[in-house]
Chains A and B, each alone.
Chain A
Amino acid sequence: MWTLVARARDASPERRRRALESLVALYWRPVYWHVRRRGEPVEDAKDLTQAFFADFLERESVADASKERGRFRAYLRASLTHFLSNEFDRRSALKRGGGALTVDFASAEAAFAKSPVDPPDKAFERRWALDILKRALDRLGGGPDAAAFRRHLALGGAATYKDLAAALGCAEHDVANRLHRVRRRLMELVAEEVRGSVAGPEDVVDEVRELFRSIL
């Protein structure tokens, strides 16, 4: 999120720390997956992830504020690649330590272990896309229509319109309409999630399509 990055340049160390935490909370999983796919063992990967974010924030705090950065996802990935390939920076960052940022590495590792064997960049994209979707789905919330939508798209055994009609207490021909409204809402939520990481509204549609490809 560009606003978060801007806040990271704030003079107050408290604000900077909170900006760092927010950024990490949003984007640590893709970074972790990328590092693991490079072959780093679990402990090193944890350290590197934290170190990367600390380093990233430090760089951003002195970087030129007016520079056009385009899509944050690509920018972050490029920064990560650069960070990892620079042996000296890596080691010194590891030595400095990234501080104790509490994130659930165990669950990320568990999901990672079951993920397809992608090249590191693709793993980054895939996890990014999944995270966006996860956040959007969380915001979609509960409610009978949303629940029907989830049943409709469940892995291994999705519900039929007939089942959904029974569950919703409506006629079968109404199910399509209601699902459509949920779909639209979800699309809006995804677009809002994506909007924060791209330069302008004209990039939103492309970014969503690109993320879609990374799931394929």
Chain B
Amino acid sequence: MTLCERCGSEADAGDLDGLCPRCVWTQVVDTLPARWDDEPSLDEGRRLGDYTILGQVARGGMGVVYRARQESVGREVALKVLSDPDALARFRREIALSAKLDHPNIVPVHDAGEADGVHFLAMAFVEGPTLDEARLAPRAALEVVRKLALAVQFAHDRGVLHRDLKPGNVILADGREPRITDFGLAREVGASPSLTVSGIAMGTPPYAAPELVSGRLEDVDARTDVYALGAVLYHALAGRPPFEGRTAGEVIARVLAEDPPPLAADPDAAAICAKAMDKDRAARYASAREMADDLERALAGRPIVARRAGALDRLARRVRGNRALSVMIVLCAVLAALNLLPYLPKGYVRQARSIADRLEAARSKSPVDAAAVRALDREFADLRRGVVGTPEDRDLLYEMARCHVQLNQRVRAVEYLSRRLAQEPEFAPAIEARARLWLREYLERRGMPDEPESPAARVIGSLIQEEAARARSATLSALLAAVEDHASGRPAEARNKLGISIGSDPGAWFLDGRCARMLGRMADAERSFERALELDPALQAMVEKERSRK
């Protein structure tokens, strides 16, 4: 048996000619569309009404696209074919909306028809690579996105939002002139959502705005398309999407919590990207035209509207380059919040005093209150501005995360760890720390064995699995496997798996306690819980919950 270096699973090399079954299956599952279309491929030469099929071009989650000839006119068209009635309704919408849009950078839809029970959409056939296949020089990328922004504005002016802008939906005719296709998810601006796309996250996660992936449909407006334009620009400049992940869930988590990795590109281009992709809609360009204008300025060498890195804070300037100081300042700030400042060595206290002072006003005496935590966050945001991109920034982020763990602010801790990982995706301690926090959440959502597993718990569960593999944490993998056993009503198996990971791992002891309780061994359970609390007092809430069960 060989151990796979990617995922850590054991496999017999003979099973799959030297490939790791788990890795291959993971890739397959990750590429699965939300639903499978049974559409058999139409053969070359097949007639569909006025059209003759010439060949297959693409097959996606929504339908198959063919190259065809329209006999009556003698021109080549693209035929999109689908026989599912729900998609048919989407088609009709696409036609209605696209028909309004006559623009050189938008692919026109000619016709919709039906022949032999096959429903299809006929549109102009555009030859050329899509934006995710092509490689563009930086200036070309700016120009292409500028044209796209103008086309998008054209659509907005006629009351149409695209909502699924991505490099795959942009064809570069003859490798140069961009044309937008697939208004399939488009909607009239201001129309109430009458057609739901059940179960599928609207848009494609790596390019979709936060309000889109989190399902806040009432927040979707022109600026959602602006975000997508920013993401497309990012891809064109960096050669990869702004957010990546092994599963859709992971990508969505990143879209919501992280900044994309810094662009190694012209600072103006990077600033335009950042403004368009701001998680706060109000901070983005208010319209696609504004973005197009800024892109034009960047190309002409004129000053752009998007702000570059903010003015440096005087304190932040002092901190830059002094690693020990920045770390200590973080520590001091937290300790100040917890009212422990007097116990630090005097030299550090003096330097951190100005920050600590800002917190004094907001903090309370008993457990840290929300305002103090917010003040702490603001403080760090200030500090970060001056050190963004330097090693100090990374330390700050990691320290922040640890502080929040101490303060029992799990959600914030995860946010900071995610940002830390955005700067260095393989930083194992952060991966593991974040996976453990997710594990806590997962345990809370998983409940007792006979409770159904919620979709959210499932997403988190698979997330943790991936992360445990990435961090090469055998302990974490074993923990997760034990959770599965435990939740499926196999406490004995769980205990077996925990046997390897128990030791100084508080999570393992906690699980062991839970198993013991399930098996009715109350005294054992209590001992395990106490051991868990010794190692990690932040587990208090979960232990209480366990003790109060049944």
Nearest residue (CB) in A for B36 is: A204
Contact B15 A130 (CB under 8 A): yes
Q: How far is the CA of A177 from the CA of B1 in the complex (A)?
A: 32
Contact B4 A156 (CB under 8 A): yes
Q: How far is the CA of A199 from the CA of B239 in the complex (A)?
A: 41
Q: Classify the secondary structure of A's interface with B.
A: helix
Q: How far is the CA of A215 from the CA of B26 in the complex (A)?
A: 10
Contact A195 B38 (CB under 8 A): yes
Contact A114 B14 (CB under 8 A): yes
Contact A154 B19 (CB under 8 A): yes
B1 contact set on A, CB distance < 8 A: 114
Q: Which of B27-35, B219-227, B268-276, B344-352 participates in binding chain A?
A: B27-35
Which of B24, B34, B240 lies at the interface centre, i.e. has the most chain A CB atoms within 10 A of its CB?
B24
Nearest residue (CB) in A for B14 is: A111
Q: How far is the CA of A185 from the CA of B17 in the complex (A)?
A: 19
Contact B19 A137 (CB under 8 A): yes
Interface string of A170-209 (1 = CB under 8 A from B): 0101101100000110111011000100001110110011
Q: How far is the CA of A116 from the CA of B21 in the complex (A)?
A: 13
Which range contains the number of A residues in contact with the other chain? 35 or more
Q: How far is the CA of A184 from the CA of B34 in the complex (A)?
A: 14
Q: How far is the CA of A61 from the CA of B2 in the complex (A)?
A: 44
Q: Does B195 contact A (CB under 8 A)?
A: no
Q: Does A63 contact B (CB under 8 A)?
A: no
Contact B21 A129 (CB under 8 A): yes
Q: Does A78 contact B (CB under 8 A)?
A: no
Nearest residue (CB) in B for A202 is: B35
Which residues 90-125 in A have Cβ within 8 Å of B in the complex? 110-111, 114-116
Which residues 43-97 in A have Cβ within 8 Å of B in the complex? none
- Beyond A156-B3, A188-B59, whether A130 also contacts B16 by CB under 8 A is yes
Contact A208 B59 (CB under 8 A): no
Minimum C-beta distance from B65 to chain A (A): 14
Contact A155 B132 (CB under 8 A): no
Contact A191 B36 (CB under 8 A): yes
Contact of B10 among A116, A187, A188 (CB under 8 A): A116
Q: Does B135 contact A (CB under 8 A)?
A: yes
Contact of A195 among B13, B28, B36 (CB under 8 A): B36
Q: Does A211 contact B (CB under 8 A)?
A: yes
Contact A155 B28 (CB under 8 A): no
Nearest residue (CB) in A for B39 is: A201
Contact B12 A212 (CB under 8 A): no
Minimum C-beta distance from A57 to chain B (A): 27
Contact B5 A215 (CB under 8 A): no
A204 contact set on B, CB distance < 8 A: 35-36
- Beyond A187-B31, A208-B29, A212-B26, whether A176 also contacts B240 by CB under 8 A is yes
Q: How far is the CA of A215 from the CA of B132 in the complex (A)?
A: 32
Nearest residue (CB) in B for A179 is: B27
B30 contact set on A, CB distance < 8 A: 183
Q: Does B474 contact A (CB under 8 A)?
A: no
Minimum C-beta distance from A171 to chain B (A): 8
Contact of B32 among A114, A157, A176, A208 (CB under 8 A): A208
How many residues from B make CB contacts under 8 Å with A?
42
A158 contact set on B, CB distance < 8 A: 5-6
Q: How far is the CA of A186 from the CA of B1 in the complex (A)?
A: 25
Q: Does B37 contact A (CB under 8 A)?
A: yes
Q: How far is the CA of A205 from the CA of B23 in the complex (A)?
A: 18
Q: How far is the CA of A209 from the CA of B33 in the complex (A)?
A: 12
B405 contact set on A, CB distance < 8 A: none
Minimum C-beta distance from B22 to chain A (A): 5
Q: How far is the CA of A209 from the CA of B5 in the complex (A)?
A: 23
Q: How far is the CA of A177 from the CA of B130 in the complex (A)?
A: 12
Contact B32 A205 (CB under 8 A): yes
Contact A155 B13 (CB under 8 A): yes
A187 contact set on B, CB distance < 8 A: 27-28, 31-32
Nearest residue (CB) in B for A172 is: B239
Contact B25 A211 (CB under 8 A): yes
Contact of A215 among B13, B22, B133 (CB under 8 A): B22
Q: How far is the CA of A188 from the CA of B35 in the complex (A)?
A: 12
A5 contact set on B, CB distance < 8 A: none
Q: Does A38 contact B (CB under 8 A)?
A: no
Q: Does A17 contact B (CB under 8 A)?
A: no
Q: Does A133 contact B (CB under 8 A)?
A: yes
Q: How far is the CA of A156 from the CA of B13 in the complex (A)?
A: 9
Contact A201 B38 (CB under 8 A): yes
Q: Does A42 contact B (CB under 8 A)?
A: no
- Beyond A188-B59, A205-B34, whether A137 also contacts B15 by CB under 8 A is no
A186 contact set on B, CB distance < 8 A: 24, 27-28, 31
Contact B13 A133 (CB under 8 A): no
Contact A133 B16 (CB under 8 A): yes
- Beyond A158-B5, A191-B36, whether A173 also contacts B27 by CB under 8 A is no
A209 contact set on B, CB distance < 8 A: 29, 32
Minimum C-beta distance from A157 to chain B (A): 6
Contact of B28 among A154, A157, A212 (CB under 8 A): A212
Q: Does A153 contact B (CB under 8 A)?
A: yes
Contact A155 B38 (CB under 8 A): no
Q: How far is the CA of A157 from the CA of B17 in the complex (A)?
A: 14
B16 contact set on A, CB distance < 8 A: 130, 133-134, 137
Which of A158, A195, A216 lies at the interface centre, i.e. has the most chain B CB atoms within 10 A of its CB?
A216
Q: Does A7 contact B (CB under 8 A)?
A: no
Contact B31 A130 (CB under 8 A): no
Q: Which 7 A-B pairs have the closest CB atoms?
A: A204-B36, A201-B38, A187-B31, A114-B12, A156-B2, A173-B239, A155-B2
Cβ contacts A to B, 9 pairs, < 8 Å: A111-B12, A111-B15, A114-B1, A130-B21, A150-B18, A150-B19, A177-B132, A186-B31, A216-B9
Q: A173-B240, A201-B36 are in contact. List 9 more A-B contacts (CB 8 A).
A: A133-B28, A137-B16, A158-B5, A173-B239, A183-B27, A183-B31, A195-B38, A204-B36, A209-B29
